[in-house]
Amino acid sequence: MTEQVIPEVILRNEDGSSVLDSREPITAENIGKYRVNEDVATRASQMLENLGFEVVQKGPTSVTISGDKQLFEDRFQTSLQVGSGDVVRSEIGDVRVPYYVPKTPLYIPQELAPLVADVVIPTPPQYFP
């Protein structure tokens, strides 16, 4: 069985900026200035598919991809370790979910760098009773 990684690829606007540069909370009122051009999302998606990833979803500021753990490590020149965190804490027992954590900072391939600001592997949310 292959181990799948489902990261979020944060895209750059044509001027090089991204949603990561925001100094304000992102809201429905201001998301428009952080949205990337559809052409940027399409080009980035195609490049990511050419690297072997499946594009799961294109959003206004990012692309969600899926791929094998080894493919991810090879393409982004890092090693992933398994983290584990509590999703729900309760009196009857904790629910723990494994997730991946990069051991070293990710390397964005040169051909992606003009379109990609960062690649983030989300951690599970924590719910409290």
Residue 61 Cα to chain centre, angstroms: 11
pLDDT band at 122 (very low <50, low <70, confident <90, very high): confident
Helix (H, G, I), strand (E, B) or coil at 28: coil
At 68, the amino acid letter reads D
User: CA-CA distances (angstroms) from residue 71 to 52, 93, 107, 113, 123?
Assistant: 8, 35, 13, 18, 20
Q: What is the pTM of this model?
A: 0.85
CA angle, 110 then 111 then 116, to 5°:
85
Residue 11 has pLDDT above 80, yes or no: yes
Question: Domain for residue 125, yes or no?
Answer: no
Range of the domain at 111: 4-120
pLDDT of residue 33: 85
Question: Domain for residue 97, yes or no?
Answer: yes
Question: Domain for residue 128, yes or no?
Answer: no
| 50-66 mean pLDDT | 95
Question: Domain for residue 127, yes or no?
Answer: no
Contact between residue 6 and residue 65 where contact means Cβ atoms under 8 Å apart: yes
Specify which residues 67 forms β-bridges with: 5
pLDDT: which is higher, 30 or 110: 110
Q: CB count, 10 Å around CB of 38?
A: 10
pLDDT band at 123 (very low <50, low <70, confident <90, very high): confident
Q: How many domains does the chain have?
A: 1
| Sign of the CA dihedral with 73 first, then 38, 59, and 22 last | positive
pLDDT of residue 87: 57
Task: Enter the DSSP assignment of 76.
Answer: H
Question: Domain for residue 126, yes or no?
Answer: no
Question: Domain for residue 33, yes or no?
Answer: yes
Question: Domain for residue 129, yes or no?
Answer: no
Mean pLDDT over all residues of the chain?
A: 87
